[in-house]
Structure 1
Amino acid sequence: MNTIQTLAVSALPVIFAITLHEAAHGYAARHFGDPTAWKLGRISLNPLRHIDLMGTIIVPAVILLISAGGMLFGWAKPVPVDFGKLRRPKQDMLWVAAAGPAANLVMALAWALLFKVMIGFPETLYSEALREMAKVGIGINGVLMLLNLLPLPPLDGGRIAVSLLPPRAAWKFSQLERWGLPILLALLFFGGLDRILRPLLNVYFSLLTSLFGFY
């Protein structure tokens, strides 16, 4: 595919993977007692409410073009969550944090099902485009799910770890949050993130292949 075609088939799965991840946090937070995101209109399936111009559009597009479609990375406007307003802040933090990766898993399964269905369709530009879109959806949701489950604050996996650790250890571990982004960027630029995620992604793709019978 050329550059325009790559962007065209990638736009929808990338935007929804990023924005619905954030919306899921808002839904979970409201369910467990924090209405902050709801009051700000951020609990919505409308991607426009979650799009960050730089993180959702410009950065993913540039990375997609530079890598010739081989890499995707981006972010949405973080959904505001006041953990102090949750009914059981420490325990409920786990479910609020896990909601984002769970949304990515559901979307990955949906894209995988679409890919499976389109394999059986006659070879047309329409079926080819949907297969390519589904492949992007499977990939980006897998990356976002596994990346966010890494036990590094402020990633979702870091918040899950804080929720599970004893209070004193949780407080000490949460202090890493101020260094979370620099650590993540260092891992990204020096190849550490690829070495961590690649084996996990291999397992992820193998499980989807087995589940849906891809060949």
Structure 2
Amino acid sequence: MTLGALILAITVHEFSHVAMARFLGDKTGEQLGRLTLDPFKHIDPIWTVALPAILIVASASTGAGVPIFAAGKPSPYNPNYLKRRFFGKELATRTAECWVALAGPLSNLLFASLCLLGVKYGGYEWAGLFQPFILLNISLFVFNLIPVPPLDGAKVLLAFLPHEAARKYELLAPQLSWFLLIALIFGGGTVVGYGVRMVLWGISWLLI
């Protein structure tokens, strides 16, 4: 159940990126076959397979309840084609990229919220069914907003940084990516786990 919930959450996440890019005018992801809910189109060998496998083994061997995180294959898009106009004004490229980046985490937050409503209106006997979907989608929401490439939070951060600061940040991106991976494997996941608990508490308070 947990593996299925994780794959579904990642699939919805990556599909939402491509769908938002398509809405904003870019057909790159669609042309590459990524505008689909087929999970095999969105699997990344490191972020979808290796990372959660390592975390699952670490959790089982230590008994510490290590949070399980994963990400899909980065969704392709061409920022030059993100030309949607709103109220007669074209979105700035970095703003459009920010919306493409946010579409994934927000889809997971929406997914988790719908599952919480399922528990509320379907009765608590449904809690066991919905629990992995709720926890994994909130985990993906929090995890992907970390402002480190290739996660979505990096694009969101870049949308708000001054041009020179953004340029320097992009130069550091490769080193930051490996630092994030190593940190998660050796205990950084507990910090993200705290964020997951806070978000879960917040949406539970709002919806239930």
TM range (shorter): 0.7 to 0.9
Aligned to 2:132: 136
Q: 1:47 to 1:107 in 2, by over 3 A?
A: same
What TM-score results when the alignment is normalised by the length of structure 2? 0.82
Aligned to 2:176: 180
Contact 1:152 1:176 in 2 (8 A): no
Deviates more, 1:139-148 or 1:107-116: 107-116
SS across alignment from 1:67: helix
Aligned to 2:43: 51
Unaligned 5+ residue runs, structure 1? 1-8, 122-126
Cα deviation for residue 77 of structure 1 reads 2.3
User: In structure 1, how many angstroms separate the alpha carbons of the residues matched to 2:71 and 2:188?
Assistant: 20
Structure with bigger RCO (C-alpha 8 Å, 6+ apart): 2
What TM-score results when the alignment is normalised by the length of structure 1? 0.79
Count residues in correspondence: 196
Aligned to 2:93: 89
Unaligned 5+ residue runs, structure 2? 84-91
Q: Give 1:94's aligned amino acid.
A: C
Cα deviation for residue 159 of structure 1 reads 0.7
- The Cα offsets for residues 158-192 of structure 1, whole Å up to 9 and x where unpaired, read as 11111111222211122222123211123213323
Specify which of 139, 147, 152 is matched with residue 148 of structure 2.
Answer: 152
Q: Give 1:109's aligned amino acid.
A: S
Structure 1 segment 1-215 matched on structure 2, within 5 A = 9-52=1-44, 55-56=47-48, 60=52, 63-64=55-56, 67-68=59-60, 70=65, 71-87=67-83, 88-121=92-125, 127=126, 131-195=127-191, 197-213=192-208
Identity of aligned residues (%): 34
User: In structure 2, how many angstroms separate the alpha carbons of the residues matched to 1:160 and 1:113?
Assistant: 28
User: In structure 2, how many angstroms separate the alpha carbons of the residues matched to 1:21 and 1:44?
Assistant: 11
Q: Give 2:10's aligned amino acid.
A: I
